[in-house]
Structure 1
Amino acid sequence: MIRQLFHVAGPALRRRLAVQLAVLLGYSVLQGVAFVLVVPVLRRLLAGDTDGVWPWAGALAGVALATAVAYYAQQMLAFQVALAASHRLYHRIGDHVSALPLGWFSGEQVGRLGQLASRGVPQVRSLLAHLLQPLCTAVVTPLTVVVAMAFLDWRLALATALGAPLMYLTYRWAVSTVARADEAVDTAAAEANERVVEFVRAQSVLRSTGSGERGRALLESALREQDAAGRRQSAAMAPGRTAFIAVVHLAVAAVVVVGAVLGLGGTVGVAELVALLVLVVRFSEPVSGMAELGGSLRSARNALARIDAVLAARPLPEPARPGPPPADASLELRDVRFAYEPGARPVLDGVSLRLPDRTTTAVVGPSGSGKTTLIRVLARFWDVDEGAVLLGGTDVRDIPADALMDHFSLVFQDVYLFDASIRENVRLGRPGATDAEVEEAARLARVDEIVARLPQGWDTPVGEGGTALSGGERQRVSLARALLKDAPVMLLDEATSSLDPANEAAIQQTLDALSGRRTLVVVAHRLQTVVGADRIVVLEEGRVAETGTHAELLARGGRYAEFWRERSRAQGWRLTPEPSVPVEAAP
């Protein structure tokens, strides 16, 4: 666990952690020496040697004072290192996950990441501040006592040392019996967290479909499983904890028996025997504390393992030798194949496309055809398994991540706004932008219409996730943010699919105004976006089925023409009342 703690802490904290452990080790040894000095003091007191007791009493007082100073020093160091480690870990995890491919962020991983932030890092902080000291004391102090006893009476020292392997094996058995229960608790907690978030976010769907009871049942089931896992963990802990404490007391009893035999045999004096047995009892106190620490140490060890697993996840590699800067904003896919899991069916299977600079490309196709994956592969959210993705003639893998992201603005269907004002959310696109530039980007995205009708105007807080705004309003703010960034390539993934006609029209007008000024790639279902594109790409089962302009593809009569007919019929649907049927008058 100590080795893993050094690894997780990182280079910046290793020296401070080493100093803390050195001071803690010194304190534990001093405490053991203080216990040992009780023996000569008692031996002389019981023998009536009052003059000879003073030097030993003075030594004991000096060591006790040094122990108190060492305790204070290690405790202050522990708190300082714990706070620094907590701060550093949050930054390390945040910096690392920001470089991980988007595919890493599954529902389960996000739930575990939330667990790390809310419980894992605090558990590591608690380990450094509160658990290392009793852990070190429970191991080093008894070891110091046993070594010192060997100089006082090797037979009692041997009897004491023989119990150590049995105590260690019992402790390891106790830990192993709870390991599976600990993993079940972590899994159940992550699942419960995910269900809570899902239940809150899905309220509109649950209420509109009358599925509130079902949603609540799923949440309650996850919470019950979390409670049951906790109960199973408590039940699994009891036998091991009881066995360990029993072994410690049996070891002490065995040493007492050996001491009594030696005393009755006359090989050890009564005064010396009493003093040595007092030392044996003091030996057992820190060891017994291990039983109390067991659960907390396991939790801290598991937290370290989970943090280590997150930090071990491989980010997208940075180029050792960056390639030439992109010549323009053109995009190209060369025989691209990509699957989310090794051995799984490719989501993109041999896709080859060239999207010229400053053109608009609409990507259409049935659900599951790879449209969203295509968009995200272009921005290098993942690296392709085969083939290459090029920006301006340069492989995106040869462009440093920060430089690559400078070339892209992205607008997704699911928009997240931060709990800040409208102005601050738009400015995230380019933090150094002036108010005039922010307002111009907002005007292009028609955000100024939203601002005009709000009492606080630009300073209106949008709430966590943008909940104070409607879906269409959030989408406009997101588009304004992308426009303010002023990147040469804009990628839009179904950005208008769930909007009302007014918001859709506003965003469509903005996209029309960008035509010819930027390279636009739009995953679209709406006919207006499709018709106005310079080129349409039809995906089906991860392959390019057709490409061309709207007129060319209609004339070809293939998959796109079928798509167009279906959309046209759906767009023309109307709800009309049935004609009334006259009712004959009763005779």
Structure 2
Amino acid sequence: MRRILRLMFVAAGPYTAEFRKTMRYSVAATLVQAAAYATFIPLLAATAADPVDTGRAWMWVGALAVLVVVEGLLRAREQAFNYDTWPYVTQAIRRSLGERLRAMPQQELGRRAAGDLTTLVGSNVISASTSISLLSTLFVQIVTVPAVVGLVVLLVDWRLGAVLAVAVVLAIPMFRWIQRMSNLGFRSVNEADAAAADRIVEYVQGLPVLKATGQAGADSPRLVEVLTEQQHTQSAANRSATVPVAGAQLLVQLAMVALVVVGAALVLDAELTVPLLVAVIVAAARFAEPLAVAAVLVKVFELSEAALSRIGAVLAIEPLPVKAGGSAPTSFDVRFEGVSFSYDGQEKLLRGVDLVVPERSLTALVGPSGSGKTTITKLITRYADPQEGVVRIGGVDLATLAPEELLRHVAVVFQDVYLFDDTIRANIAMGRPDATDDEIQEAARAANVHTFVDRLPHGYDTRVGEIGSALSGGERQRISIARAILKDAPIVLLDEPTAALDTESEVVVQEAIDHLVKGKTVVVIAHRLSTVVGADQIVVIEDGVVAQSGRHAALIADGNGRYARMWQAQLAAREWHVPAGVNG
């Protein structure tokens, strides 16, 4: 329970002070509630006296009434957090997660699947905020009420108090058993839920392919497998705690029976009056109720802890450190000095790379798939820090620049364009949110976006659909380039933006790229060598090292070099043609 409370305080974030205040109100209200139940003992004793002690009875009635009113007032203050602040806590958790995801190293973020993050900021946040607003007060009652009532019963008669104390001692290992089984089960459930969410996202995005291969629908193998696993995990989690929950509840009931038996024996021995026994049983019923409820709620607490732990794990991820002594670059050449990098800390994808990209030049990175080209561009955006060596822009070590400062100077155009389900105007404006409509349209014209926007019924207010699904590949790419033109960053990274386009779209997009790269420091990943023959510098990356570098003509002249062989292979591929049909 302490562990869960600690996680609750972490998740409460900026509302921690209000949460602490609520917990204090909850403790006070629960103590007053337990005291109210305890007044039944002297009240019944006064009414059972012979003669009846009227004055004393009314005094305890008055005390009971006052305690009930005070508890009600304290509960009202306690519930203010639950109903007034809870929505803000939910929002605050999501904002904290959003901020942490924004600041998280891209390498770490890349390890997390979309469905996993969807579950995290969706159902996990709801579970966490609910536990903060509701379960925390239940937790206080579960702990405080039995403690106070048990103490009162102990003061009435130590033997009756001993019965309740033994029940608690026996219940603790039972609750720990429930906790352990539930903890293991719900962690597995959370992982299964995240996997299912991720597969559902994949299913929706890949529906055209699944339909084409006959794997769509309720019997889709990719869905059935993960949903079946989710069902089995949930069933196993529920079954795992069934026996200990039933055992804990039975133990509480047996404790009540034992209390009645011991009390009856004391009455028969004239060591306890019947009214006092009745009063003790009434108070003990209040003692037993939270314990019986706790046997069930432990599962709920563990479910909340699983959600809180997942949130806490993300909030605990530190952003890339920013070393002291950095300043904004004033020139924009890019240098790699002895850079080695590994994604997993074992196999190096880059090994001792030395590379200079002069300011306002075009450098093309070529080489086989998996050679490290994309990794080089990622390190320029500080996707992660190299394990060895330094990456500099304008002589400034990237490790000394805050991510937002670095990315202000870099624009990236990917081969696979991601557009948000918003208007064309909004997607372009992401390059510079404070841009005017005239500036947005100027960037759109430079990127050849204006030519197709004029044909759309709502112009720039046309929604592009999820991931830009309402537009063609060439249109999506042009919007992406317009976004980069609007940003007007001095360094531009291009990941072969025309590779997946038809010939007509490629020509239009290439014109847009020409506008984008004017006067910029440009690094382009090229798969088709014919597109970069005019580059100022062509760098051949092979097995994580710089194998060759130079201009096209010089590299071709080295007939035995890797670049010349790649060039000849691509020339040969151009001669490929569709063979004649089976009928000739």
After TM superposition, the score normalised by the length of structure 1 is 0.94
**Letter of the 1:560 counterpart:** Y
Is contact 2:29–2:71 with CA below 8 Å preserved after alignment? yes
Match of 1:223 among 227, 230, 233: 227
Residue 55 of structure 1: aligned partner:
59
Task: State how 1:1-400 maps to structure 2 within 5 Å.
Answer: 1-10=4-13, 12-47=14-49, 49=52, 51=54, 52-106=56-110, 108-209=112-213, 212=216, 216-319=220-323, 321-342=324-345, 344-400=346-402
Distance, in Å, in 2 between the alignment partners of 1:580 and 1:118 is 58
Distance, in Å, in 1 between the alignment partners of 2:310 and 2:583 is 68
Is contact 2:106–2:383 with CA below 8 Å preserved after alignment? yes
Match of 1:520 among 522, 528, 534: 522
Match of 1:484 among 483, 486, 490: 486
Residue 431 of structure 1: aligned partner:
433
Is contact 2:429–2:440 with CA below 8 Å preserved after alignment? yes
Distance, in Å, in 1 between the alignment partners of 2:514 and 2:449 is 16
Deviation of 1:578 (Å)? 6.3
Distance, in Å, in 2 between the alignment partners of 1:110 and 1:513 is 34
2:572 aligned with 1:569, yes or no? Answer: yes
Is contact 1:439–1:448 with CA below 8 Å preserved after alignment? yes
Deviation of 1:214 (Å)? 12
Is contact 2:113–2:198 with CA below 8 Å preserved after alignment? no
**Letter of the 2:257 counterpart:** A
Distance, in Å, in 1 between the alignment partners of 2:352 and 2:145 is 66
Distance, in Å, in 1 between the alignment partners of 2:259 and 2:409 is 75
Match of 1:405 among 387, 403, 407: 407
Is contact 1:508–1:529 with CA below 8 Å preserved after alignment? no
Deviation of 1:209 (Å)? 4.8
Deviation string 1:136-158 (CA, Å, 9 cap, x unpaired) is: 11110111112222332233223
% identity of equivalent residues? 37
193-202 or 1-10, which deviates more: 1-10
Residue 475 of structure 1: aligned partner:
477
**Letter of the 2:570 counterpart:** R
Is contact 1:359–1:516 with CA below 8 Å preserved after alignment? no
Distance, in Å, in 2 between the alignment partners of 1:215 and 1:341 is 36
Deviation string 1:197-228 (CA, Å, 9 cap, x unpaired) is: 11121223334455558992011110111011
Q: Secondary structure at the match of 1:369?
A: coil
253-262 or 57-66, which deviates more: 253-262
Is contact 1:34–1:60 with CA below 8 Å preserved after alignment? yes
571-580 or 398-407, which deviates more: 571-580
Deviation of 1:81 (Å)? 3.4
Q: Secondary structure at the match of 1:98?
A: helix
Change (3 A) 1:156 1:578: closer
Is contact 1:101–1:315 with CA below 8 Å preserved after alignment? yes
Q: Secondary structure at the match of 1:496?
A: coil
Change (3 A) 1:215 1:508: farther
Match of 1:460 among 452, 459, 462: 462
Change (3 A) 1:214 1:489: farther
Q: Secondary structure at the match of 2:147?
A: helix
Q: Secondary structure at the match of 1:490?
A: strand
Change (3 A) 1:18 1:441: same
471-480 or 566-575, which deviates more: 566-575
**Letter of the 2:507 counterpart:** A
Distance, in Å, in 1 between the alignment partners of 2:136 and 2:515 is 63
Deviation of 1:159 (Å)? 2.3
Deviation of 1:568 (Å)? 2.1
Deviation of 1:514 (Å)? 4.6
Distance, in Å, in 1 between the alignment partners of 2:259 and 2:583 is 102
**Letter of the 2:573 counterpart:** A
Is contact 2:538–2:549 with CA below 8 Å preserved after alignment? yes
Deviation of 1:580 (Å)? 8.1
Change (3 A) 1:501 1:434: same
Is contact 1:360–1:516 with CA below 8 Å preserved after alignment? no
Deviation of 1:176 (Å)? 0.8
Q: Secondary structure at the match of 1:532?
A: coil
Deviation string 1:6-35 (CA, Å, 9 cap, x unpaired) is: 12322x222111100000001110110011
Deviation string 1:485-516 (CA, Å, 9 cap, x unpaired) is: 00000011122221121222222223334555
Distance, in Å, in 1 between the alignment partners of 2:214 and 2:546 is 40
**Letter of the 2:65 counterpart:** A
Distance, in Å, in 1 between the alignment partners of 2:282 and 2:184 is 39
Is contact 1:423–1:459 with CA below 8 Å preserved after alignment? yes
Distance, in Å, in 2 between the alignment partners of 1:110 and 1:309 is 17
Is contact 1:107–1:194 with CA below 8 Å preserved after alignment? no
Change (3 A) 1:214 1:170: closer
Change (3 A) 1:214 1:363: farther
Distance, in Å, in 1 between the alignment partners of 2:437 and 2:85 is 42
**Letter of the 1:521 counterpart:** V
Change (3 A) 1:33 1:214: closer
Q: Which runs of 5+ in 1 are unaligned?
A: 582-587
Distance, in Å, in 2 between the alignment partners of 1:364 and 1:215 is 43
**Letter of the 1:336 counterpart:** V
Distance, in Å, in 2 between the alignment partners of 1:345 and 1:580 is 51
Change (3 A) 1:209 1:278: closer
Q: Secondary structure at the match of 2:209?
A: helix
**RMSD between superposed Cα atoms in Å:** 1.9
Residue 538 of structure 2: aligned partner:
536
Residue 493 of structure 1: aligned partner:
495
322-331 or 227-236, which deviates more: 322-331
**Letter of the 2:204 counterpart:** V
Deviation string 1:313-358 (CA, Å, 9 cap, x unpaired) is: 1211123x3423323110000010010112x211111111000000
